[in-house]
Structures are given as C-alpha cells and as structure tokens.
Amino acid sequence: MSKKYLYNLLAKNKGEYSTVVNSVIIALILLSVPLDAFESYSATPAAVKKFIIFFDFFISIIFALEYVLRLYSCTENPKYAHPVIGRIKYALTPLMLLDLLAMPPYIVLGYGYLRALRAFRILMLARYTKAVQVIEAVIRNKAQELLIISGFFIMLWGWSAMLIFRFENPVQPEIFKNLFDAFWWSVGTFTTIGYGDMVPITLGGKIIAVITMLCGPVLFGLSVAVLTSGIIERLKNAAKENLP
C-alpha cells in the first residue's frame, strides 16, 4: 500500500475504501459515548465493565493506527513535504492534536482519572463534519477581525476585574478575596450569566457591573456578525464554483 494511496484514502477521502474507513472511524467515535456512560453506571455488571475496558483498548489501537498512518502519509501534501519538519507541522494542526488526545486512555497514559481524555473523541467528528470545516475556514479567513474583537474583550475584561476588585475588596474581602476572584466575576458578568455568588454592593462596583453587562453582549454580537458574514460569503463562493 503506497504512501500516496494512504494519503488519498485518509486525507482526501478518495479511493474505493474511503467510505468504509470513514464509516468505521465515525462508528467507533460514536460508540465511545455510550461505552463511557455504561462504565460510569454503578449497576453495570463487572463482566460488562471488563468488556468495555477491552473494547476501549481496541478503539484506542484503531485510533493510534489511523494517527500513525496519517502522520506517515502527510508528506504527500506539498505543505508538509519535508520528512521531519513537515510531519511535526502536521502533527501540530488542530485535528491531529485532537486525534492525539483521543487515543491515550489505555495506550499512553494508562487507566485512571486521565481516561477523561476520552471526551476528546467526540470532537474527532470535526474531521468528518462539513459544517465544522466551514466554520474552521471562516475563522481562518476572519482571523484579523476576530483578533480585534478578542483584544477589546481582553482589555475590558482586565479593566472591569481590576476596578471591581478595588471597589469591592475593602467592603467584601471574604467574597472578592483577590484579583482571580474578580476575573471570575468579570467573565460571568460579561456573558450575562451572573451566578449570584459574587454581587457588588458599592456604588462604584454597581456602575462597573452595568458597564460590563452592556459591553459583553455587544462584543459577542460583533463576533457572531463576523462569523455569520464569513459563512454566508463562503457558501456563496461554494455555490458559484458549483455553477455549470
């Protein structure tokens, strides 16, 4: 089996067995969810739990094999043509990092609390979901606009956290103990969630809270607007390319 054949099969979804391979991988990803659920259920018989452990090991082996074959064949892509640097660059791409996190439970890290990494397996569906690929491309194309919005968010986040701490710490030292607590409050207020565990009682603190609550939806709205326009542009371009 040539490197080019493997690259076309795994990366380009070309070849007579590409549909079968993709279907098997997707099925194993989806199976991981109920397996984890049954293993966590205290009433699950010991024999079933033992089977789940062995089957999860089998799934990890398949994911590891897929990862190695993708890494081996990636040099067929001109972007990753160098046998060493190219493979390192490919291994650091988001989807390959997800694949790496998805396989460790038994192979790399053993059994224990680190099996929580199995949660990353469901994210592997991003490779096989066109909608996620479209969003990834849009984020790449709109990176500059999103970075500007993120910069404003970070500035306002720091501003509101530092000010709320200065106003509230002297009167509520048991609640606003330090700046980390203030940053936690700022995130909750920015997103308008407001858990109610930290509430400003000073006039200055309330003014900061109002400004933070007003700025949060504006920044998130701008992010949504940028992503929506990018998705519309991409869908329009795709429709034009498919025109006869």
Q: Which letter, b or e, does each residue of 54-80 get, where b requires 16 or more Cβ atoms within 10 Å of its Cβ?
A: eebeebbeebbebbebbbebbbbeeeb
**The one-letter amino acid at 228:** T
With CA atoms as reference, report the closest residue to 119 among 132, 107, 103, 131.
Answer: 103
Q: Provide the whole-model pTM.
A: 0.64
Which of 21-25, 113-117, 212-216 shows the lowest mean pLDDT across its residues? 113-117
Q: Quote the crossing angle between the two packed helices 46-73 and 3-10, to the nearest 10°.
A: 120
Are the CB atoms for 175 and 181 separated by under 8 Å?
yes
Residues making up the chain, counted from first to last:
244
Look up residue 62 and give its two tokens. Answer: 């398949």
Are the CB atoms for 143 and 223 separated by under 8 Å?
no
pLDDT tier at 115 (50, 70, 90 boundaries)? low
Who contacts 67 (Cβ-Cβ below 8 Å, separation ≥6)?
A: 96, 99, 100, 103
pLDDT tens-digit readout, 181-199: 999 999 999 887 877 788 9
pLDDT tens-digit readout, 10-47: 888 777 788 888 888 889 888 887 887 787 777 888 88
pLDDT tens-digit readout, 127-159: 777 777 788 788 888 999 999 999 999 999 999
The whole-number pLDDT of residue 196 equals: 79
* DSSP assignment string, 157-191: HHHHHHHHHHHHTTT-TTTS-SHHHHHHHHHHHHT
Residue 69 is inside which H or E element, if any? helix 46-73
With CA atoms as reference, report the closest residue to 202 among 160, 164, 157, 161.
Answer: 164
Walk me through the domains of the chain, giving residue ranges and CATH numbers: 3-128 (1.20.120.350), 141-241 (1.10.287.70)
The whole-number pLDDT of residue 163 equals: 95
**Coil, strand, or helix at residue 81?**
coil
